[in-house]
Amino acid sequence: MNKSLIKKIAAIALTAVIAISGTSAVLSSAQTSANASAKSQTIKYSGKVPKYVFLFIGDGMSYPQFQSAANYLAIKAGAKTEIDGGILDGSRKLGFMNFPVAGSATTYDSSSFTPDSASTATSIATGYKTYSGSINVDETKTIKYETISEKLKKQLDYKIGIITSVTLNHATPAAFYAHQASRNDYYEIGAELITSGFDYFAGGAISGNAGNDGTSPDLYKLAENAGYKVITKQADAAKLTANDGKAIVIAENLADSQALSYEVDRPETEWSLRDYVKKGIEVLDNSKGFFMMVEGGKIDWACHANDAASSIHDTIAFSDAVDEAIAFYNQHPDETLIVVTGDHETGGLTIGYAGTDYDTYFQYLQNQKISYAKYDRDYVAKYVENKTKFTDVLKDVKDLFGLVTADDPSAGENPGLVLSDYEVKQLRDAYEITLATSLAGTYVSNTSGDRYLHYGYQSKPLTVTITHILNHKAGVDFTSYAHTGIPVAVFAQGAGQDLFSGYYDNTDIYKILAAITGVK
């Protein structure tokens, strides 16, 4: 039998398996639907069912992330403090912070008080707790839960859109269409994306496209066979209309880990998260209604790396995407619901640092011109390759992050950004470790103890040391390279908004959405 025929048979067989697994998910969720209905019955709603539902999830975003972004914008707009000889105006808010209803949600899962994105997104999408790392399955990993988006598609015939700044089969977006014991089963999650029948996917790539063995049928080809229009050029995305049917839109210029660019790195000509939301509204709008889940996924990634400036820029980009939904709401105020929340907090970000006492200097973060990821890729990699002199490295640190040595001619222009002798030593030590581990083929993520405490696992030791120093000079700090267990905010505007007030669990977000839309 020739190879091409074998591949065709494999593709047909896999498509059948995918279809069967999609069916089993529905059957399994049916076994638990009675319990889900019983839970949702505790929340009563007699108002109008919203025709358009937006759910925005800032991955890793809690109070510190959006408040630091608001503070940054206030200072950028000219707010002064006593230090500057003025009176601080800290009233600047991101758009969603002005919503009429605000609540708080706890985020613990079946494993931990510091949960992961798979389990917390499962709670939001289905109303059930599960173990960290699992997507829409119970703790035995044998029962599958039906999601709010699947129910809206099946019961109300809403069009469904899933948009993210990271990969389309990453944990949070996956929680609205997939059912897997492990969030790392990217190929299987990608296969469920296809069989979901959802109408619009947009953002990063579908990772793990060829499966773990590298021989599985191409998911993009399977998607096209299933009726999806797969778009990888921005110009083609701009031309997309509702008449084109189901679509998967992949960013033309993918950045780290096949995601969208960090906002601080994004060229003006490149689509932002807001652009994908705007296009989504255009192609999803119809007489029956739609549900759109939008994730700001790189807020989380930036906080894992302790990169405060990148976190702030991506939080602002996330807020800009919400603003697009607000503009739509203003046209359809009686038919629309917008909910904005986070799945968990990442990094233990705090506004305040021992080294700056009661003062903060968010203006210093304006000096960072590049994300940690781009600096790692475009600069640190070359340092390692060329064994660049430390003095030359410091020139880039000045240009890209604004940090200068005491003997630099510009040191007097902004004393707050002058490196102390101790900080220069920190940078030098981190650079030497970066060179040594990179040249030896070892990585910080494979170490433990003091090195991990100093440098984490998301970026090179040099890079995270630079961001740590800049963060501290700005008066902000992180306690972790992982997630934390603090509650997240929930903001709501539109039909059923009042049900989102109070202090509750993240599973209640699903219950409230189910009550408002009437799905069972």
- pTM for the model stands at 0.91
Residues 366 and 453 reside in one and the same domain: yes
Domain count of the fold of the chain: 2
* 3-class SS of residue 130: coil
Q: Is residue 110 over pLDDT 70?
A: yes
Q: Residues 188-201: what's their mean pLDDT?
A: 98
Q: Residues 214-231: what's their mean pLDDT?
A: 94
Beta pairing, strands 159-164 & 200-203? parallel
**Given pLDDT bands bounded at 50, 70 and 90, which one contains residue 34?**
very low
CB distance 398 to 404 below 8 Å = yes
Q: Is residue 274 over pLDDT 50?
A: yes
Q: Is residue 15 over pLDDT 70?
A: no
Q: Residues 247-264: what's their mean pLDDT?
A: 97
Run of H or E residues at 465: helix 461-474
Q: Is residue 6 over pLDDT 70?
A: no
* pLDDT for 443: 63
Q: Is residue 36 over pLDDT 60?
A: no
Instruction: Using alpha carbons, select from 116, 122, 150, 121 the residue that is nearest to residue 23.
Output: 150
Task: Give CB contacts under 8 A, 24+ apart, made by 310-313.
Answer: 310/262, 310/263, 310/264, 310/368, 310/371, 310/372, 310/373, 311/60, 311/65, 311/68, 311/69, 311/347, 311/349, 312/65, 312/68, 312/69, 312/72, 312/365, 313/262, 313/263, 313/264
DSSP 441: T
State both tokens at 382. 């070359």
* pLDDT for 209: 82
Q: Would you say 472 is a known binding-site residue?
A: no
- What is the identity of the amino acid at 481? Y
Residues 453 and 323 reside in one and the same domain: no
What secondary structure, in 3-state letters, does 10-72 show?
HHHHHHHHHHHHHHHHHHHHHHHHHHHHHHHCCCCCCCCCCCEEEEEEECCCCHHHHHHHHHH
In whole angstroms, give the CA distance from residue 360 to residue 354: 11
Q: Would you say 344 is a known binding-site residue?
A: yes
* pLDDT for 250: 98
Q: Would you say 172 is a known binding-site residue?
A: yes
Which of 5-19, 22-36, 267-281 holds the top average pLDDT? 267-281
Residues forming a β-bridge with 105 = 488, 504
* pLDDT for 33: 39
Q: Is residue 8 over pLDDT 90?
A: no
Q: Is 33 a catalytic residue?
A: no
Residues 149 and 58 reside in one and the same domain: yes
Q: Is residue 246 over pLDDT 90?
A: yes
Residues 218 and 323 reside in one and the same domain: yes
Q: Residues 490-517: what's their mean pLDDT?
A: 98
Residues 370 and 331 reside in one and the same domain: no
Residues 136 and 222 reside in one and the same domain: yes
Domain span holding position 401: 350-477
DSSP 345-390: EETT-EE-BGGGBT---GGGGGG--S-HHHHIIIIIHHHHHHT--H
Residues 151 and 278 reside in one and the same domain: yes
Q: Is residue 199 over pLDDT 80?
A: yes
- The enclosing domain of 144 has a CATH number of 3.40.720.10
Q: Over the stretch 83-107, which tens digit does the pLDDT of each residue have?
A: 667 777 777 899 999 999 999 999 9
**Given pLDDT bands bounded at 50, 70 and 90, which one contains residue 438?**
confident
**Given pLDDT bands bounded at 50, 70 and 90, which one contains residue 13?**
very low
Q: Would you say 59 is a known binding-site residue?
A: yes
More confidently predicted of 14 and 141: 141
Q: Would you say 295 is a known binding-site residue?
A: yes
* pLDDT for 5: 33
Residues forming a β-bridge with 483 = 346
At a CB cut-off of 8 Å and minimum separation 6, what does 381 contact? none
* pLDDT for 82: 63
Q: Is residue 203 over pLDDT 60?
A: yes
Q: How many residues does the chain have?
A: 520
* pLDDT for 256: 95
At a CB cut-off of 8 Å and minimum separation 6, what does 52 contact? 285, 289, 290, 328, 332, 335, 336, 337
Candidate list 28, 29, 68, 117, residue with the active-site label: 117
* pLDDT for 41: 53
Q: Is residue 510 over pLDDT 70?
A: yes
* pLDDT for 323: 98
Give the angle subtended at the CA of 227 by the CAs of 221 and 229, to the nearest 5°: 70
CB distance 135 to 19 below 8 Å = no
pLDDT averaged over every residue in the chain: 91
Q: Residues 433-450: what's their mean pLDDT?
A: 77
Q: Over the stretch 306-343, which tens digit does the pLDDT of each residue have?
A: 999 999 999 999 999 999 999 999 999 999 999 999 99
Residues 336 and 367 reside in one and the same domain: no
Q: Is residue 16 over pLDDT 50?
A: no
State both tokens at 480. 């972790």
More confidently predicted of 12 and 217: 217
Residues 456 and 512 reside in one and the same domain: no
Q: Over the stretch 352-395, which tens digit does the pLDDT of each residue have?
A: 999 999 999 999 999 999 999 999 999 999 999 999 999 999 99
CB distance 103 to 489 below 8 Å = yes
Residues 442 and 493 reside in one and the same domain: no
Q: Residues 407-416: what's their mean pLDDT?
A: 95
Range with the lowest mean pLDDT among 312-316, 455-459, 493-497? 455-459
**Given pLDDT bands bounded at 50, 70 and 90, which one contains residue 121?**
very high
Run of H or E residues at 476: strand 476-477
Residues 101 and 55 reside in one and the same domain: yes
Q: Would you say 300 is a known binding-site residue?
A: yes
Q: Would you say 357 is a known binding-site residue?
A: no
* pLDDT for 1: 37
**Given pLDDT bands bounded at 50, 70 and 90, which one contains residue 18?**
very low
* pLDDT for 39: 40
More confidently predicted of 445 and 392: 392
Q: Is residue 11 over pLDDT 50?
A: no
Residues 203 and 334 reside in one and the same domain: yes
Instruction: Using alpha carbons, select from 153, 169, 188 the residue that is nearest to residue 117.
Output: 169
